[in-house]
């Protein structure tokens, strides 16, 4: 089978986008996605994203496979790439247009802002332990600045779900965090039954945070959109930042706002096309 694809990235978090509109099920299996994501034997990406025919009143449906073949509920950088890719498939400039996208985390609405920028209504963050999910606290309690001991070291963590699980850790100096060593210990920790994405955050000022991420199912990536949203939610819960804050990731900056009005998190950032091609 030959498969047409387009490569996009959102701040260096890179994805293989597949026009899957002919069907409501992904054209390739998770195992095939792992091969395509391989940076030496495949195209190379942090994940594969499918633009699918929707089964409900939304405009399109999105599914994602991580580079290890697991399937996350949502992907923040991915949905910006998804929205930009749709305008390419539709062949029309769509500045100002808001799409309704069906994801495993529910309805997500990206708006095309022009200049390659996309603003996404990421919905409401979930804070109760059972919805992260984590067993660090009782089911109906929030996890804000709680002690988690990993490899004999104390970490104070806050947990937020943006559809997918995030464990947020504020540290004095993110450069001192050995992500390759500690990332997997958080990801596969028993307190997180669905595993977890983990973000280490340094507060630069009340509206500027620096973050680096170990992603569930993908490892170190240059950016994580859902993670940046979860970072600002955790920052507000811990009185460390404003509701409207810039998050600097290794691949660049995202503007995040946790709205007081509707409790939704809004993320603004770029989506960039790299190339398109065909794989055999």
Give catalytic residues, as residue numbers: 75, 224
Over the window 205 to 244, marking each residue x when it contacts ligand ZDP by CB under 6 A and - when it does not, the resulting string is ----------xxxx--x--xxxx-----------------
Per the CB < 8 A criterion, the answer to whether 219 and 183 are in contact is: yes
Q: Minimum Å distance from CB 226 to ligand ZDP?
A: 3
Q: What whole-number distance in Å separates Cα of residue 123 and Cα of residue 76?
A: 11
* 3-class secondary-structure state, position 110: strand
Per the CB < 8 A criterion, the answer to whether 195 and 185 are in contact is: no
From 71-79, 148-156, 181-189, 263-271, span contacting ligand ZDP (CB under 6 A)? 71-79
Strands 272-279 and 3-10: antiparallel
* 3-class secondary-structure state, position 21: coil
Closer residue to ligand ZDP, CB minimum distance, 66 or 189: 66
Q: State residue 114 phi and psi, 5-degree precision.
A: 90, 165
Q: How far is C-alpha 123 from the geometric centre of its chain's CA atoms?
A: 13
Q: 61, 197, 198, 246: which one contacts ligand ZDP (CB under 6 A)?
A: 197
Radius of gyration for the alpha carbons in the chain, expressed in angstroms and rounded: 18
Over the window 161 to 180, marking each residue x when it contacts ligand ZDP by CB under 6 A and - when it does not, the resulting string is ---x----------------
Footprint (CB under 6 A) of ligand ZDP, residues 78-97: 78
Q: Minimum Å distance from CB 162 to ligand ZDP?
A: 7
* Structure tokens belonging to residue 132: 């992260």
121 binds ligand ZDP, rule: CB under 6 A: no
103 binds ligand ZDP, rule: CB under 6 A: no
Closer residue to ligand ZDP, CB minimum distance, 75 or 148: 75
Closer residue to ligand ZDP, CB minimum distance, 20 or 231: 231
Total of chain residues touching ligand ZDP, rule CB under 6 A:
18
Footprint (CB under 6 A) of ligand ZDP, residues 126-165: 164
* DSSP states of 142-173: B-SSEEEEETTEEEEEEEEESSSEEEEEE-S-
From 17-25, 76-84, 126-134, 203-211, span contacting ligand ZDP (CB under 6 A)? 76-84
Residues 6 or more apart whose Cβ sits within 8 Å of residue 59: 86, 99, 100, 101
Q: Minimum Å distance from CB 252 to ligand ZDP?
A: 12
72 binds ligand ZDP, rule: CB under 6 A: yes
Q: 17, 37, 75, 256: which one contacts ligand ZDP (CB under 6 A)?
A: 75
Q: 6, 20, 61, 66: which one contacts ligand ZDP (CB under 6 A)?
A: 66
* Residue in the block written with tokens 């449906």: 61
* Residue in the block written with tokens 């997997």: 184
Give me the count of residues in the chain: 280
Residues 6 or more apart whose Cβ sits within 8 Å of residue 151: 181, 182, 185
Instruction: Sort 238 into a burial class: Cβ within 10 Å, 0-12 / 13-18 / 19+.
Output: middle
Q: 9, 62, 63, 76: which one contacts ligand ZDP (CB under 6 A)?
A: 76
Binding residues for ligand ZDP, per CB under 6 A?
Answer: 13, 66, 72, 75-78, 164, 197, 215-218, 221, 224-227
């Amino acid at each position: 089978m030959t498969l047409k694809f387009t490569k996009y990235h959102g701040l260096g978090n890179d994805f293989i986008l597949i026009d899957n509109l002919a069907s409501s099920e992904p054209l390739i299996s998770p195992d095939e996605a792992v091969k395509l994501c391989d940076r030496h034997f495949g195209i190379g990406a942090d994940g594969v994203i499918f633009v699918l025919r929707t089964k409900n009143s939304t405009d399109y449906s999105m599914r994602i496979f991580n580079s290890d073949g697991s399937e996350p509920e949502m992907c923040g950088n991915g949905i910006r790439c998804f929205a930009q890719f749709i305008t390419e498939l539709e062949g029309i400039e769509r500045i100002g247009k808001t799409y309704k996208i069906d994801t495993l985390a529910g309805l997500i609405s990206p708006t095309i802002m022009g200049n390659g920028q996309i603003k996404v209504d990421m919905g409401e963050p979930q804070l109760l332990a059972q919805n992260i999910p984590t067993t660090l606290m009782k089911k109906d309690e929030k996890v804000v600045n709680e002690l988690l001991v990993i490899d004999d070291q104390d970490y104070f963590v806050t947990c937020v779900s943006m559809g997918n699980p995030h464990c947020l850790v504020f540290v004095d100096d993110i450069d001192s965090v050995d992500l390759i060593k500690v990332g997997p210990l958080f990801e596969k920790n028993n307190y997180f039954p669905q595993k977890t994405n983990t973000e280490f955050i340094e507060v630069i000022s009340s509206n500027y945070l620096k973050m680096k991420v170990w992603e569930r199912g993908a490892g170190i990536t240059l950016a994580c959109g859902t993670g940046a949203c979860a970072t600002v939610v955790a920052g507000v819960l811990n009185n460390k930042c404003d509701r409207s804050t810039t998050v600097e990731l290794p691949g660049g900056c995202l503007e995040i706002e946790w709205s007081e009005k509707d409790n939704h998190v809004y993320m603004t950032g770029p989506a960039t096309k790299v190339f398109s091609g065909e794989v055999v």
